[in-house]
Homo-oligomer: A and B are copies of this chain.
Amino acid sequence: MTKKELIFNAALKLFVDKGFHGTATSKIAQEASVANGTLFQYFKTKDDLVIALYISVKDELNEYISINTSRKDDIKETIKSQVFSSLVWGLDNQTKIQYIQQFQTSPYIGQIEKEIIAKQAEPHLTLLKKGIEEGIIKNLPIELLNSLMTSQFFGLYQFLIANKLSKSKQQEIIQTTFEMLWDMIT
């Protein structure tokens, strides 16, 4: 594991545990078993680290979704496998999901360029647009549909981690909830 990865892992753990400013850079370096100065060689400032970590985690999630999504021409199946793989990744990477949420509701979100945010949402929006054009999905603003779906994802996710269920029961809930979501937007 590279120094940079060590720092990312340590920062992720501490930020989620103690909050952004509740975490001293010296503590991150310590947790990463790296010198104080090393941290500032990879990241010019603490804010740089906070933001770079978010982008890295978000990219990781998007890559996972992209790899695990079967690109059939079936829109329902495509969206379904996107939602499912997001959940699988989220349940296996709870700290990272927590970090995404914490970051997105913090003042830091304003520091990320709008183009980066737009780029990350773009694939979902395109898919929704296609669905509307094909007459499958309700003709509503795609930003609204996307916002509702993202929220739905977090809502279901919160429920799943708050209630430790058996794998099969979990799968059943995910399946049911997705069908509810699908009925809602079509």
Contact = CB atoms under 8 A, between A and B. Distances in A.
A11 B164 CA distance: 36
Nearest to A148: B155
Copies of this protein chain in the complex: 2
Chain A interface main SS type? helix
A120 interface: no
A104 B184 CA distance: 27
A41 interface: no
Contacts of A176: 140
Interface of A: 16-22, 98, 101-102, 104-108, 138, 140-141, 143-144, 147-152, 154-156, 158-159, 162-163, 173, 176-177, 180-181, 183-185
A54 to B, nearest CB: 13
A162 B150 CA distance: 15
A113 B129 CA distance: 44
Most chain B Cβ neighbours within 10 Å, of A104, A138, A184: A184
